[in-house]
A = this chain, B = another copy of it.
Amino acid sequence: MNTILIKQVSLNGKNVDILIKDNIFKLISSKIDIKTERIIDGRNLAIIPPFYNMHSHAAMTQLRGFADDMPLFKWLNDYIWIEESKMNEEDIYIGTILAIKEMIHSGTAFFLDMYWFDRQIIRAVENMKIRANVGITFIESRGEKEIVEKIDFINNFKHTSSLINISVAPHAIYTCSKDLFIELHKVAKQNNLKFQTHLAETIQEVEDCKKAHNNLSPVEYLDSIGVLDNNTILAHCVHISEKDAEILSERGCFLIHNPCSNMKLSSGCFNTPLVKKYNLNVALGTDGASSNNNLSMIEEMKFAALLAKHHFKDPALLSAEEVFLWATKNGAKAVGINAGEIKEGMLADCLLIDLNNPLMQPNHNFISNMVYSADGSVIKTLICNGEILLNK
């Protein structure tokens, strides 16, 4: 049995001992005297949940720096889509391995992915022992045969590891029809899987949707066909109205904010005041490395907070504490993983942070330092599901 005892680590500013048994935080107490396989000296370290990257196209690390600083449609048409069409299974496997290495370096223990050659993504995740939810991704123009094959794969999916699940991922409303959306939502429901899509990323998408669907916004349109519920995860949601926010609140959907990608592609600004007003479920994602261009959730937290303050001219708008929850607890909640907090009985996912690192000094406010000052160098240890994946 795997047992780890972390001695005298700082948890919310208090020094405690923490016992990990198998993949669970078994006991948290001021002092624990139990013989364990491994003891970690937690002095000068703080324990926090790791990051849950809620929107990624991991293998796009292959396209990091391949095309930057150009308009969206030139970027997509002349570069990204052409290059993606040349990628084979091995490219996806290697690209995903590179992404996972990078994510571990910056403290991420889980990613929700959406890309091609899903079996290669699953293979990479299995080998690296990180958590992931792999979106089985649909684009209608790729043909009926692929759709049928993918639905068949979903219906017959057997879990090989508790670390991995799949989700049903129609790519977007402009690449999948109403009928396909409805069918895939049924497939997700029948198999008790999460349902994820890109939504309301650009103004163009909103305008095109209104033209095509009787003046309905993207959120209104998806709601009108009955595919929005508390299993639905919507990447981007940059352009939403007050009415959209009401719908998203009633349905209990999760919105995934990707500030770096939205800024780099000039997509617009995530409506933080509105999501706060309606208390919507929000988590954070990096998007793919071709529009970010890294997968650091630490950097993403800082961009989210500073973008909100800048764009809405309010330095008090999104606090370090709020954006930290978006990057940790809310991500785990969105995919229904019992993790994202350091609590007895929860899955043993955590980071040990070096409080002596110059970026964490002085320690007036630990969470502020994590969000506004830290980079990957402050992470000493990453534990995912009770296993040590990084130890520097």
Measuring CB to CB, which residues of chain A are less than 8 angstroms from any residue of chain B? 61-66, 68-72, 75, 98, 101-102, 105-106, 260, 262-266, 269, 289, 292-294, 296, 299, 302-303, 305-307, 309-320, 358-359, 361-366, 368-369, 372-377
Contacts and interface: CB of A to CB of B under 8 A. Distances in A.
A292 B65 contact: no
A64 B364 contact: yes
Contacts of A312: 266
A90 to B, nearest CB: 14
A306 B264 contact: yes
A8 B49 CA distance: 42
A263 B306 contact: yes
A287 to B, nearest CB: 12
B316 A98 contact: no
Contacts of A98: 358, 361
Given A70-B316, A319-B68, A306 B260 contact: yes
Nearest to A366: B65
A317 B263 CA distance: 12
B61 A294 contact: no
Number of copies: 2
Contacts of A263: 306-307, 309-310
A294 B373 contact: yes
A376 B377 contact: yes
B65 A365 contact: yes
A265 B319 CA distance: 12
B102 A293 contact: no
B64 A369 contact: yes
Most chain-B CB neighbours within 10 Å: which of A62, A64, A305?
A64
A266 B359 contact: no
Contacts of A75: 315
A69 B320 contact: yes
Contacts of A310: 262-263, 266, 269, 307, 311
Given A263-B307, A365-B66, A71 B359 contact: no
A98 B196 CA distance: 45
Contact of A292 (B262, B269, B372, B377): B372
Count chain B CB atoms within 10 A of each CB in A303, A313, A320 and give the residue with the most.
A303
A317 B69 CA distance: 7
B64 A293 contact: no
Contact of A309 (B66, B264, B302): B264
B266 A65 contact: no
B294 A264 contact: no
A368 B68 contact: yes
B293 A372 contact: yes
Contact of A358 (B105, B306, B317, B375): B105
A53 to B, nearest CB: 15
27 contacts: A61-B358, A63-B364, A64-B362, A64-B364, A68-B319, A68-B368, A68-B372, A69-B315, A98-B361, A101-B358, A102-B358, A102-B359, A105-B359, A260-B302, A260-B306, A262-B310, A263-B306, A263-B310, A264-B306, A264-B315, A269-B310, A292-B372, A293-B373, A294-B373, A299-B302, A375-B375, A376-B377
